[in-house]
Amino acid sequence: MRPTTGVAPLGERSSGALSDTFGRVHRDLRISLTDRCSLRCTYCMPEQGNEWLARSGILSLDEIERIARVAAGVGITTFRLTGGEPLLRTDIVEVVRRLAAITGPDGTPVELAMTTNGIRLPELLPDLMAAGLQRLNVSIDTLHRDRFAALTRRDRLDDVLAGIRAAQASGLRPLKLNAVAMRGVNDDEMVQLVEFALAHDAQQRFIEQMPLDAGHTWDRAQMVTREEILAALATRWALTPVPGRGGAPAERWLLDGGPQTVGVIASVTAPFCGDCDRLRLTADGQLRNCLFSTAEYDLMPTLRPAGGQGAEPMDAAIERVLRACVHGKLPGHAINDPSFLQPARGMNAIGG
Ligand code: SAM
Ligand code: SF4
């Protein structure tokens, strides 16, 4: 469903920060650069038969920069580049350079982070850092080659490990490693994954599996819960909660008193919607106010007007769609309601 492309109601046309009807101020924009990927993780993409976005419908570098500048002007302070696999985009270094140069209304530079499967980091990281990339999250769900190949349907564990070594050597910190916890797949590796992260000067974060796979096969019984993850970790470390989470998706715990930590993103069993400050932009120009939203707010008619530019300046129109998207945000994602409907798009097309 893509309900909003026209003129937003007057009630949504306000000035100031991007505040929704529940008082949540939005500071974080996740920008999906492509729906394509070098892996086929079972919880994200189908093995075959994915309906790719048409290349002509993908936002250009100039369009991404334009949206980002408008967003920074109304209070977005962090951009996270994601996908699909963001490093597959051929102009990725230029995307980073353009976005890293953006400042807020008070002249403060935005923060620029990326979530990646890491495969192209060894070749690209020096240029990405020179262009202004500040933070990295790398996804790795298992340290076993056979499991990795089955889970991602690609035998590329060694490439991901090389990417993580490049990230470690780069000095970009904090470096975060993400793993989706899955029953019978990697739930016996929780301790080893944390030890691996610590050995690479990284923070391990576990993610509860969410109903966002393209095949709509998510099964609550297969999901490893926050409680189960913590119980597994407690066999090895004393866990002390870290206070002051703010709008961050991960709850964190000190390992044996710290300073090292582990994080858990428990979107299903412990939703954190009340503090959510995130918006998403898909690679084809759709704004989303929630991962699980079934509504999208289309920026394409604004960016590429069929009949030529209308009377409203383009930046004002982009801001209006941003405000409409924030205004339409629901209090929570409702995964746990019986009436929950999984979004039509998979995670690779929404942007994780
Ligand atoms: N390709 C990059 C990567 O894998 O890091 C960036 C995009 S990926 C969609 C972003 C994050 O979403 C990854 O950490 C991935 O594990 C996570 N993810 C994908 N599908 C998920 C699901 N169904 N439930 C929970 N996390 C998911
Ligand atoms: Fe690709 Fe990331 Fe989805 Fe895995 S989770 S298929 S690496 S986009």
Q: Which pLDDT band holds residue 215 (cuts at 50, 70, 90)?
A: confident
Least confident window among 234-238, 264-268, 334-338: 334-338
Q: Is pLDDT at 272 greater than 60 in this prediction?
A: yes
The Cα–Cα gap between 338 and 179 comes to 27
- For the chain, give the percent of residues with pLDDT over 90: 78
Distance 46 CA to ligand 2 centre (A): 10
What's the confidence (pLDDT) of residue 75?
A: 97
Helix pair angle (121-131, 157-170), 10° resolution: 30
Looking at per-residue pLDDT, the higher value among 52 and 144 belongs to 144
Atom of ligand 1 nearest to the CA of 32: 7
Q: Which among 183, 347, 348, 350 is the best mutation to test ligand 1's pocket, defined by most ligand atoms within 8 Å of the CB?
A: 347
Please tell me if the CB atom of residue 152 comes closer than 6 angstroms to any atom of ligand 1.
Answer: no
Closest to 290 measured CA to CA, from 272, 304, 303:
272
Q: Which among 207, 219, 223 is the best mutation to test ligand 1's pocket, defined by most ligand atoms within 8 Å of the CB?
A: 207
What's the confidence (pLDDT) of residue 210?
A: 92
Domains of the chain, earliest start first: 28-350 (3.20.20.70)
Q: Which pLDDT band holds residue 14 (cuts at 50, 70, 90)?
A: low
Please tell me if the CB atom of residue 283 comes closer than 6 angstroms to any atom of ligand 2.
Answer: no
Closest to 101 measured CA to CA, from 137, 130, 59:
130
Do residues 282 and 288 touch, judged by C-beta distance below 8 A? Answer: yes
What's the confidence (pLDDT) of residue 129?
A: 98
The Cα–Cα gap between 222 and 241 comes to 26
What's the confidence (pLDDT) of residue 339?
A: 75
Sheet containing 239-241: which strands, arranged edge to edge?
239-241, 251-255, 261-265, 202-208, 175-181, 135-139, 111-116, 78-82, 28-32, 278-281, 286-288, 297-298
- Convert the pLDDT of each residue in 150-172 to its tens digit: 999 999 999 999 999 999 999 99
Please tell me if the CB atom of residue 139 comes closer than 6 angstroms to any atom of ligand 1.
Answer: yes
Q: Is pLDDT at 9 greater than 70 in this prediction?
A: no
- Convert the pLDDT of each residue in 301-332 to its tens digit: 999 998 877 788 999 999 999 999 999 999 88
Q: Which residue's CA is the nearest one to ligand 1's atom 5?
A: 116
Q: Average pLDDT, stretch 137-149?
A: 98
Q: Residue 283 corresponds to which tokens in the numbers above?
A: 């690679």
Atom of ligand 2 nearest to the CA of 40: 6
What's the confidence (pLDDT) of residue 182?
A: 95
The per-residue pLDDT of the chain, averaged, comes to: 92
- Convert the pLDDT of each residue in 167-210 to its tens digit: 999 999 999 999 999 999 999 999 999 999 999 999 999 999 99
Q: Is pLDDT at 214 greater than 80 in this prediction?
A: no
Q: HSE of 254 in the Cβ direction (CA atoms, 13 Å)?
A: 9
- Write the DSSP assignment of 203-260 as a string of letters: EEEEEE--S--TT----GGGBPPHHHHHHHHHTTS-EEEPS--TT-S-EEEEETTSS-
What's the confidence (pLDDT) of residue 15?
A: 65
